[in-house]
Amino acid sequence: MNTIAIVGRPNVGKSTLFNRIIGRDEAIHAEESGVTRDRIYGQSDWAGRYFTVIDTGGIVPDSEELFDIAIREQAGMAISEAQSIIFVCDGRTGVTAIDEEIARLLLRSGKHITMAVNKMDDPKHDVNAFEFASLGLGEPFGFSALSGRSIGEMLDNAVIPFAQGEEEEDDERLKIAIVGRPNVGKSSLCNALLGQERTIVTPIAGTTRDAIDSVLRYYGEEMVLIDTAGLRRKSRIKENIEIFSTFRTQRAIERCDIAVVVIDAVQGLDMQDKRIINDVVDARKGIIIAVNKWDAVEKDHKTADNLAKQIHTEMKTVDYAPIVFISAHSKQRITKIPEMAKEIQVRRTNRIATWKLNDELLEAISRTPPPAVRGHDLRINYITQSGTAPPLFIFFSNFPELIPEAYKRFLENKLREYHDFTGVPISFLFRKKNKSRDDG
């Protein structure tokens, strides 16, 4: 995936630029230096080029403070993964010794560098940007992250390494990502799947460095298996591995059709598992929950059912996610995973006829109409499916903005009652009623 890393010393406006690029206020920005501790990432596009952008903490090259070492290592990881670097400097203070040290680091990286001089809020300040040409990183681009002034020219340069349009050629093979928190057995599961007699492993040209892609041949059908557990890099700061793993997981989710969230049967469901499950749902990817190390659990005939109920109780909005109890070590039930993934992808790509949707749901709506809100009687007049993979349904209403969340949940439950969407997050849009369809 195309990636831009934003780097620079503390308090030069990196997070403000990050927020400007992704179009929402996600990174924390303040006058206090060192606010952005961890790398934050988001998705954006510019001039027809789609990319991930990473915000990094401020680099202090020579500091031996533990905090500064951690930020330096995190920024280094971002630089190693990115194809394009935006080096942000402060045009008001001019070139500093830290800027010079970071510039030398970037020159050694061999990456495409955009020399971005921030805080050029007024055109009369643009002349100050030329001082930064002395860093040897090419033409300096003066801009203002706060106001957005001249940001376009800077981004035009930043996206040069990226191909226009789609990043990769269309690949019709089913893509399955194995994701989960550290030490739950992701690599073991991938190896077990790829070690079956009916599988082959071949390199895939152009795969990203942050995940390990292999071809899984399952009964004559090729699938792409994305393993996010390949990190073996040593670090003095343990949390850097965690942050890097999170970034890798997010990118794998973006690239896949189906995500297999692996959890530890011995430890059970924890907050990090829940976050990853929610990331998959937010990305609207197919989902399987694989409870690994099942062979290490003392159990009776009710243990699996009880754990499944517990998971669905704690993740009520994801109770449609199938749960499979596996052992990567003993290969117990692992062949269910590609089989389930194929079934889920069929459901993700299924399209329901408009007449059928309306016959089913309008009848259910007439039996249980939406409640009155702010004195308005709410009506839903028409339903259609506008997209697949992920499925998207549009409901036309007289007051779409007033439909309560609880009623949306009711509609989703009804749709799932009529159609099998096991393992499939679905999306609803509520729009103003099309008057041409209003029969009174």
By C-alpha distance, which of 22, 52, 18 is closest to 35? Answer: 18
Q: What is the model's pLDDT at position 434?
A: 56
Q: What is the model's pLDDT at position 58?
A: 67
Please tell me which residue, 64 or 344, carries the higher pLDDT value.
344
By C-alpha distance, which of 118, 121, 139 is closest to 130? Answer: 139
CB atoms within 10 A of CB 107: 13
Task: Give all strands of the β-sheet with 84-90 in edge-to-edge order.
Answer: 40-46, 49-55, 3-7, 84-90, 112-118, 140-142
pLDDT band at 62 (very low <50, low <70, confident <90, very high): low
Query: Percentage of the chain with pLDDT > 90?
Result: 55
- Map residue 84 onto helix, strand or coil: strand
The mean-pLDDT minimum among 6-15, 51-60, 99-108, 308-317 falls in 51-60
Cα–Cα distance, 132 to 127 (Å, whole number): 10
pLDDT band at 114 (very low <50, low <70, confident <90, very high): very high
Instruction: Extract the tokens encoding 370.
Output: 């939406």
Cα–Cα distance, 92 to 117 (Å, whole number): 9
Please tell me which residue, 187 or 293, carries the higher pLDDT value.
293
| Residues 37/87, Cβ–Cβ less than 8 Å | no
Whether the predicted pLDDT of 410 surpasses 80: yes
By C-alpha distance, which of 250, 244, 207, 243 is closest to 225? Answer: 207
Kindly list the distances between the CA atom of residue 357 and the CA atoms of 268, 337, 363, 414, in Å, as whole numbers in the listed order.
Answer: 38, 30, 10, 11
**pLDDT 10s digits, 237-282:** 444 555 556 667 777 888 899 999 999 999 999 998 998 999 999 9
Cα–Cα distance, 382 to 356 (Å, whole number): 11
Please tell me which residue, 56 or 98, carries the higher pLDDT value.
98
**Exposure string (b/e) for 390-417, b if CB count within 10 Å is 16 or more?**
bbebbbbbebbebbeeebeeebbebbee
Cα–Cα distance, 155 to 116 (Å, whole number): 9
Q: Kindly report the pTM of this predicted structure.
A: 0.67
Q: What is the model's pLDDT at position 392?
A: 96
Mean pLDDT score of the chain: 83
| Residues 367/380, Cβ–Cβ less than 8 Å | no
pLDDT band at 183 (very low <50, low <70, confident <90, very high): confident
**pLDDT 10s digits, 347-397:** 999 999 999 999 999 999 999 999 999 999 999 999 999 999 999 999 999
Please tell me which residue, 24 or 337, carries the higher pLDDT value.
337
Cα–Cα distance, 195 to 174 (Å, whole number): 19
pLDDT band at 398 (very low <50, low <70, confident <90, very high): very high
- Give me the domains of the chain, ranges plus CATH numbers: 3-158 (3.40.50.300), 174-348 (3.40.50.300), 354-437 (3.30.300.20)
**pLDDT 10s digits, 2-49:** 889 999 888 899 989 998 998 865 433 333 333 333 446 777 889 888
Q: What is the model's pLDDT at position 233?
A: 40
- Map residue 391 onto helix, strand or coil: coil
User: Average pLDDT of 59-87?
Assistant: 72
Cα–Cα distance, 383 to 111 (Å, whole number): 49
**pLDDT 10s digits, 134-164:** 999 999 999 999 999 999 999 999 999 987 5
Cα–Cα distance, 202 to 206 (Å, whole number): 13
